[in-house]
Structure 1
Amino acid sequence: MENKRLDKLRKEWLPEATIRDMQEKMEREEVTAEELVTMYLAEISETDRNVNSVLEVNPDAMQIARMLDYERRMTGPRSGLHGIPVLLKDNMDTGDRMHTSAGSLALKEHYPGEDAFLVKKLRDAGAVILGKTNMTEWANFMSDKMTNGWSSRGGQVKNPYGPFDVGGSSSGSAAAVAANLAAASVGTETTGSIIEPASQNSLVGIKPTVGAVSRTGVIPLSVTQDTPGPFGRTVEDALMVFRALTGTDPEDPVTALSAVWAGTDWDAVLDPEALNGVRIGVARNIFEREADTGVMKRFDEALGALRDCGAEVIDDIDLGVMEDDLGYDVLLHEFKSALNGYLGRTEPGNPIRSLADVIEFNNSHPDETLRFGQNLLEESERTSGTLTERGYLEALERNRHLAAEVALESAFRKHRIDALVFPKSHGCSFGAAAGYPGVAVPFGAGEGGEPFGITFYGRAFAEPDLIGYAFAFEHRVRGRIKPEL
């Protein structure tokens, strides 16, 4: 960089700087939002060649930041996100000069007409939308052979920590924050796509209750399981973004349930003693056959840290259901219905109007798009798209009953536990099918330097509790690892 002051800040201060750090520096007029954007753009240009996490940057980001700097001087900051650069997963509509493609070449020229509801919320809070992140194409529901983090539009996202799995479909959103290419980011989860990349990239990830954050303007997979949520390098950073995302959206009726948090003191959630006296359940049979000895060793160390925080660990709980019992029939049916609804309402100039159009486009461009095939797209297309099939309705009722009532609620009641904890992304299918929240928090690295984290799961709208547990754990272990890039 030509600006030596900024170059010094970028190298010595910006890496691992928290959102609070950035706000304090802006309040002291030691840095501006425009300079934050400038430094992050320099990081993207130099570092992302090794990560491939950012699909495109917002050409207006610097001008937006300059406007927000002026507003800060005139009237003060809008919120704790004022002037903070944030990246978005490439399935979130932005009514600007950026595309929204879900990683697909079929939508590489798709410009939405307006912001997604959650994007409006971020802009209203004063966040700077810095760009769009690469993702597993069609939220990893294109092919059961597809590699995590690969898309025909963006190629392969790489884990900043080495030759490790980068995690589920929000891979670019996680890898970018881990690599210090933005202060925070927003991803989406259907089954594990926030929790897994958070764990694989030494980040905090909040998978909200379905209904906490609007899905309007987000390219969908499942109407009953999709939920956007934030990534941050700290619990506080993730919470600051999460607070901005929540709210009632009339176009997404389930968000009315988020009114349960009216009057919540979110600042009080960040309590280093939040785990004291809390009962934490462990369902070992869910993961002990899949997890290797290194993962089990690290997880047992994490349980020791939870006990050191004052938690009571209730070990070896039987949930009565295995993750494989849930299946993916619900997603097969809901994907066609939801995607056709989204594409059918896009701008008239978009030639891709349905799932059938996507499949046809891919068949016409096999060298670029069919590296892993598209068997899940084709299987979904064979459903009616009306959500009337008996198989779908039975699968939906079965999954929600098994996940919410038989597994989670029964465990909470029977063992009087406040949360369940799992290593990495194990157990994510239960929270996904039930629509319940989870919070992933880093716990150092396992064998070979692969990032490791644990995930807290709770009842619907238990985010204040789970975020508090994650904060207390983070405060105790300081488990975030900075990658060597």
Structure 2
Amino acid sequence: MIGFGTDTGGSIRDPAAFNYLVGLRPSLGLTSRTGIVPLDLARDIGGPIGRTVRDVAKLFTYIVGPDPTDPLTSLSDDVGAVPAGGYEQFLVANGLQGKRIGTLDYFYDMTTADPGVLVVYNTTLMYLTQAGATVVRNVRIAGNSLGSRDWTANSTLTTNSWFTGFGAAGKWESITSCPARLSYDLGVYLAGHNSTYKNLQAIVDSGLYHPVSNRSLVTSLTAGYGFGTPADYPTAAQKAAGIVCGCGDFNTNPCRVELTKAFTSTMDSQALDALVYPTFVNSPTLLGDGFSPTGLVQNAVSPYAGLPTMVLPMGLDGFGLPVSLSIVGRRYAEPTLLSIAYGFEQLTKFRSPPGSFPECTGPPNGFSIVPATG
């Protein structure tokens, strides 16, 4: 049983986490973005969701590789990132043996975190150690050639920002806010399809969208439509004001380049194979609950640094609800993440179908499986 997701800021990882499933957001450039309805092509990526690590590895093998319609995939092809023989070969029961795994303990807010979730997380770290891994606690992401402060992830201000400049002239700049991307990327997508609406302006003029979307659509339209491409940011006026980050991807936006370098160099300096943190530090909230803390820990790393992240079950909290572990690796380190995830999965066997939704064993009523022909 497998499925696909498209992750701009968490839409592979978050559903997998809440539904006690395994999800893999790949390295940017490893799977094609062609056909994805874009929110932000500098972050959008498709990847697998499954019940087990093996299911995810099987599907992943068939969706990676170069695509001439997506130039970003040429990067992974240039460095030989796709392993011959597929990804199942990296699924070994002792996948944790000898691994060095760092924890990102400052990623979450201890004042609102659910103690039951943290108990599960700390128990998971014990399991990792028992299986032969070395756990390095509280790894700090260091390094920034653009400014005098390192990146941190323990506040709303700094989580999605990068510090540029030195001394009193330094400032936090957003690496997540680029309204021009939606209007431009969606316009390119619609122009290439048999769509009634060829750009964001036409959609806004039609009024055929959910009222909740109004603010983001109008903001994107006024900030980006008719103003060139994301490559035009920062504008000359913004550069004159000291703005550095812009709207580029992980290879062209200076701040995103630095974010990637900081994660990679930190892992290199401590000889780490991966970094881990709880995907959420609070129980899943009810639909319509806009007041309880979501406990979303950190969804900016993968989209903005272009790094792969896996999520998988690590137990149930005090309410019997899923708790998920996130594992981050270097670019194109999916084999390592799959090996770690599989080793943990085989050690713990945590996943079980929810009582109210028994495991699917065949097609739904009224449907049948038709063998492929040709």
TM-score (norm 2): 0.74
Q: Which amino acid aligns with 2:45?
A: T
Residue pair 2:175, 2:304 contacting (<8 A) in 1 also: no
Corresponding position: 1:338 with 2:188: no
Alpha-carbon distance in structure 2 between the residues aligned to 1:328 and 1:355: 23
- After superposition, what is the alpha-carbon deviation per residue over 1:80-115, rounded to whole angstroms, capped at 9, x for unaligned? xxxxxxxxxxxxxxxxxxxxxxxxxxxxxxxxxxxx
Q: Which amino acid aligns with 2:341?
A: A
Alpha-carbon distance in structure 1 between the residues aligned to 2:126 and 2:332: 27
| Between 376-385 and 428-437, the greater mean CA deviation after superposition | 376-385
Corresponding position: 1:291 with 2:113: yes
TM-score (norm 1): 0.58
- After superposition, what is the alpha-carbon deviation per residue over 1:247-300, rounded to whole angstroms, capped at 9, x for unaligned? 210110121233322425533201011110100001111114353322221111
Structure with the greater relative contact order (CA < 8 A, sep ≥ 6): 1 or 2?
2
Q: Which amino acid aligns with 2:96?
A: L
Cα distance, 1:268–1:389 mapped onto 2, change above 3 Å: closer
Unaligned runs of 5+ residues in structure 1 are 1-182
Alpha-carbon distance in structure 2 between the residues aligned to 1:251 and 1:373: 29
Cα distance, 1:190–1:373 mapped onto 2, change above 3 Å: closer
Out of 264, 268, 272, the position equivalent to 1:417 is 272
Partner of 2:371: none
Out of 220, 228, 245, the position equivalent to 1:394 is 245
Residue pair 1:246, 1:258 contacting (<8 A) in 2 also: no
* Offset at residue 444 of structure 1 (A): 2.1
Q: Output aligned runs, 1:263-282, within 5 Å.
A: 263-264=84-85, 266-282=87-103
Cα distance, 1:229–1:453 mapped onto 2, change above 3 Å: same
Q: Which amino acid aligns with 2:189?
A: Y
* Offset at residue 455 of structure 1 (A): 1.1
Corresponding position: 1:252 with 2:65: no
Partner of 1:105: none
The alignment's C-alpha RMSD in Å is 2.0
Out of 190, 197, 219, the position equivalent to 1:379 is 219
Alpha-carbon distance in structure 1 between the residues aligned to 2:14 and 2:255: 21
Residue pair 1:288, 1:296 contacting (<8 A) in 2 also: no
Q: Which amino acid aligns with 1:411?
A: T
Partner of 1:221: 39
Partner of 2:362: none
Percent identity, aligned pairs only, is: 29
Residue pair 1:403, 1:431 contacting (<8 A) in 2 also: no
Cα distance, 1:385–1:191 mapped onto 2, change above 3 Å: farther
* Offset at residue 342 of structure 1 (A): 0.4
Q: Which amino acid aligns with 2:132?
A: G
| Between 330-339 and 241-250, the greater mean CA deviation after superposition | 330-339
* Offset at residue 329 of structure 1 (A): 4.5
Partner of 2:9: 191
Q: Which amino acid aligns with 1:389?
A: Y
Out of 442, 445, 448, the position equivalent to 2:319 is 448
SS of 2:185 mapped into structure 1? helix
- After superposition, what is the alpha-carbon deviation per residue over 1:368-410, rounded to whole angstroms, capped at 9, x for unaligned? x21x24211111111125221315972342441342122x113
Out of 310, 313, 328, the position equivalent to 1:457 is 328
Residue pair 2:61, 2:86 contacting (<8 A) in 1 also: no
Partner of 2:125: 303
- After superposition, what is the alpha-carbon deviation per residue over 1:33-59, rounded to whole angstroms, capped at 9, x for unaligned? xxxxxxxxxxxxxxxxxxxxxxxxxxx
Cα distance, 1:412–1:231 mapped onto 2, change above 3 Å: same
Cα distance, 1:401–1:258 mapped onto 2, change above 3 Å: closer
* Offset at residue 438 of structure 1 (A): 0.7
Out of 408, 427, 430, the position equivalent to 2:298 is 427
Size of the aligned set, in residue pairs, is: 295
Residue pair 2:6, 2:12 contacting (<8 A) in 1 also: yes
- After superposition, what is the alpha-carbon deviation per residue over 1:192-246, rounded to whole angstroms, capped at 9, x for unaligned? 2211111111000010011111111111122221110010000001111111111
Out of 468, 471, 474, the position equivalent to 2:339 is 468
Residue pair 2:96, 2:131 contacting (<8 A) in 1 also: yes
Q: Output aligned runs, 1:401-412, within 5 Å.
A: 401-406=257-262, 408-412=263-267
Partner of 1:133: none
SS of 1:443 mapped into structure 2? strand
Residue pair 1:334, 1:385 contacting (<8 A) in 2 also: no
